[in-house]
A = this chain, B = another copy of it.
Amino acid sequence: MTGTSDPENAGSGEFSFIARHFRPLAGAEALDLRDDCALMRCPVGEEFAISTDTMVENVHFLSDDPPETLGRKLLRCNLSDLAAMGARPHAYTLNVTVPRGGRHDESWFSAFSHGLAEDQRRYGVHLIGGDTTSISGPLVLSATVFGLLKQNTALRRNTASAGDDIWVTGTIGDAALGLLVLQGKLKDSSGFLATRYRLPQPRTGLNLHGIVNAAMDISDGLIQDCGHIATESGVQLVIESEAVPASEAAASLGQNWLMQRLCGGDDYELLLTCPPERSRALQSACQDAGIPVHRIGRVQTGRGVRLLDAIGADIVLEQGGWQHF
């Protein structure tokens, strides 16, 4: 972990800063964050799955989100990409671009790195490198995560087949509602929805190779992500809106929020397509991992996404909105 040369910030104590907050997070492959690169080996017969994400203050998180959750949210979004392909979490790099002016002080970074340490233990990953820079602007965080999987076992988006059922893990739409709660537009005295926005639960630990035909994680919103599978696989996805699982907190808000739930992002649940004859294997694998899973529709020939209401009539989806006929 070395700082990119910053002519305005020479002698800023960056090295001791890294030592205090990030060296405790580093694994052996990081060479103690003291050299130009990390060195990482891959077990014979395996390959790396690699995902990278950036989060920007006031775009992907709020200025008053607790520092403990920010690094964890970034890490978890990336871990969700690993889960989508069936890879085991292994390591990550972290780039932190800190606003000038001292708002992110020693205690802020202490909380930030403690949150990361907790998730390192939870998901079995370690830091292998990074960069710290300064900005006249908002906080920007980027992470690149590395997972391992056996060669030729990655789950893909482009392999859904007509005849598959569509399944999702967990509950859908909580994070989008949680953002509305944090923006003061919605009330949730339980705090559950806001937590779902701040701390997604990546569905790592599932071994679905040989069971599902296609997989991805839901980050853009259920309907948009169903569209990605439809496009990449050349099929049509039909969603039964009534079957899409809602949390207790979301359900208590009533049906008015259905479309926010189905179109809102940040769920980080898995979207899966599975042949009906392997439904039981899927349910069993999810049960073993303690992850709820629900069937929400079917894959058929055609293109795009269809959304059905309770009596099987189409809800017409439009770019940037929807209409109910």
Instruction: Give residues in A with beta carbon < 8 Å to B.
Output: 2-11, 31, 34-42, 44, 47-56, 58-60, 77, 81-82, 84-85, 87, 93, 95, 97, 128-131, 133-138, 140, 142, 144, 147, 151, 154, 156-158, 176, 179, 216-217, 219-221, 224, 232, 264-266, 319-320
Contact = CB atoms under 8 A, between A and B. Distances in A.
A40 B50 contact: yes
A129 B97 contact: no
A35 B51 CA distance: 10
A182 B50 CA distance: 38
B52 A48 contact: no
Nearest to A2: B219
Contacts of A50: 37-40, 93, 128-129
Contact of A85 (B5, B36, B48): B36
Contact of A34 (B9, B44, B219, B232): B232
Contacts of A147: 37
Q: What is the count of identical protomers in the complex?
A: 2
B60 A133 contact: yes
Contacts of A82: 36-37
Give the most central of A6, A84, A176: most B CB within 10 Å: A6
B53 A85 contact: no
Nearest to A48: B40
Given A50-B38, A219-B4, A59 B134 contact: yes
Given A4-B55, A41-B47, A216 B35 contact: yes
Contacts of A49: 37-39
A89 to B, nearest CB: 12
Contacts of A220: 2-3, 5, 10
A39 B35 contact: no
Contacts of A93: 50, 52, 144
A95 B134 contact: no
A85 B135 contact: no
A280 to B, nearest CB: 26
A37 B81 contact: yes
Nearest to A134: B59
A36 B217 contact: yes
Contact of A77 (B4, B54, B264): B4
A40 B217 CA distance: 20
A36 to B, nearest CB: 4
Give the most central of A36, A58, A134: most B CB within 10 Å: A36
A11 B144 contact: no
A81 B131 CA distance: 13
A36 B179 contact: no
A216 B36 contact: yes
A172 to B, nearest CB: 14
A189 to B, nearest CB: 23
A129 B51 CA distance: 7
B319 A11 contact: yes
Contacts of A217: 36
B35 A156 contact: yes
Question: What are the nearest 3 A-B pairs in CB distance?
Answer: A137-B137, A5-B265, A37-B49
